[in-house]
Structure 1
């Protein structure tokens, strides 16, 4: 999506006192700071006592996927989001460049890190 991302990810082990979703957001924010050119980094600046930049929405939602049924329901939602009425980014959800749709439908992907959801339960 042009202004947000949906992820299904697996926790390998607990990382300190933070919630796993907080660790993910913190880690990725630090990586964004390293990767972005200074002229782009400027657009993420905020005036806060505890940080200089904000990359993630303050109330990002993390939903635990305890059962395969819930996990596949969320995966279906993620795959269909780019073709939804609001976005209409592609005609077929398999064609959305930033989706795992082609991984599931055609067993092909530009992303080497994807694993099939069915193997995670």
Structure 2
């Protein structure tokens, strides 16, 4: 794949604090999608694959120059946490208390600290990571076929249909 000569790909994983099922409601998955749409529209990232599960997310992306990976990741996690927090305050305060932390810089924490972000340098590794993220809903018993899971890029790679308008093929 010529993609590896053009730019560096990253496999990004972020997990909800203590693996809690915060992203179970679709409205919180939609917050993740809206943030991805913003990043693509503002030309900060190119997204090649993703899955949003109930307690974690995986993304294969490229951070576009001059934007730095660590800044994009930080801003993405902070923005999504804030949007989820505001919804919990308004609609589910009983759930919000499960994310209260004793920290100097925040009252609540939704994402685990230090998300995983690794460089992908070969075609074999990108294919392995893409298959891994697409098979997450299958392994979780949510679907019989990965393309059936709505919050994933699996359908895009099977049919060419980008339900979210955020994907660029590898």
TM normalised by structure 1 equals 0.76
TM normalised by structure 2 equals 0.57
Q: Of 31, 56, 59, which aligns to 2:114?
A: 59
- Pairing 1:1-121 to 2, within 5 Å after superposition: 1-15=53-67, 18=70, 20-33=72-85, 36-38=87-89, 39-40=91-92, 42-43=96-97, 44-84=99-139, 87-116=140-169, 118=170
C-alpha separation in 2, matches of 1:80 and 1:12: 27
* Higher RCO (CA-CA < 8 Å; seq separation 6+): 2
CA-atom RMSD, angstroms? 2.5
Q: Which runs of 5+ in 2 are unaligned?
A: 1-52
| More strand per residue | 2
Residues 94 and 62 of structure 1: CA distance in aligned 2, closer, same or farther (over 3 Å)? same
Residues 94 and 18 of structure 1: CA distance in aligned 2, closer, same or farther (over 3 Å)? closer
C-alpha separation in 1, matches of 2:122 and 2:73: 18
C-alpha separation in 2, matches of 1:109 and 1:17: 24
